[in-house]
Amino acid sequence: DILVDGKVCDCDVVVTCQVGDPVPLQVRLTNRSRHSVGPFALTMMPYQDYQNGVHNYDLQDAITFVGSNTFYIDTVKPAKDSVYFGALLFLYTGDFYLNIKFHEDNCSRELPLSWLCLPSVHIRATEPVAPAKL
C-alpha cells in the first residue's frame, strides 16, 4: 500500500499538494507468501512523464526528499508487514510521478514485476493558495 499525504494511491488517483509543503509518503509492504522475504531495498524515484515515452528523472532542482529515498529491509515474515516513511518537498509546480522499486539488497538487480504489484503514484504540485485580502 502507498499513501501520499495520508491518502491511499492507486492508478486512478491524482494527489494534489502545494509547492513548499512537505508531502508525507508511506509505503507498507505486506508479505502474503508462506515464507519470509528479504533482505532487499526499497527505492523511491520521482520523475516527470513528457507523454512521449520520455521520463525525466533529473529533478534535483524541482523535488527533494526529506530524509532518504532508499530504505533497507531486513526480513518480512509471512502475513506480516513493514512500513516505511519519508517525505517529498516540491519546489516547482507540475505533474510528477513516483517510481517505487524493490531491489535485492546485495546488488542493484530489481525483483521481478510478478513478485509485487505497486500502483502508479501521480502527484500534482500546485501554487500555494494566497490568503484572501480584506
Q: Which domains does the chain have, with CATH numbers?
A: 2-126 (2.60.40.10)
Other beta carbons less than 10 A from residue 20's beta carbon = 12
pLDDT tens for each residue of 9-50: 766 778 899 999 999 998 888 888 888 887 888 888 889 987
Q: For residue 4, which of 17, 61, 12 has the smallest C-alpha distance?
A: 17
* Phi, then psi, of 5 in degrees rounded to 5: 55, 35
Q: Is 37 exposed, middle or buried (0-12, 13-18, 19+ CB in 10 A)?
A: buried
Higher pLDDT, 89 or 129: 89
Report DSSP state, residue 61.
T
72: part of which helix (H) or strand (E)? strand 70-73
For cell 492507486, the residue is: 10
The answer, as to whether pTM is greater than 0.75, is: yes
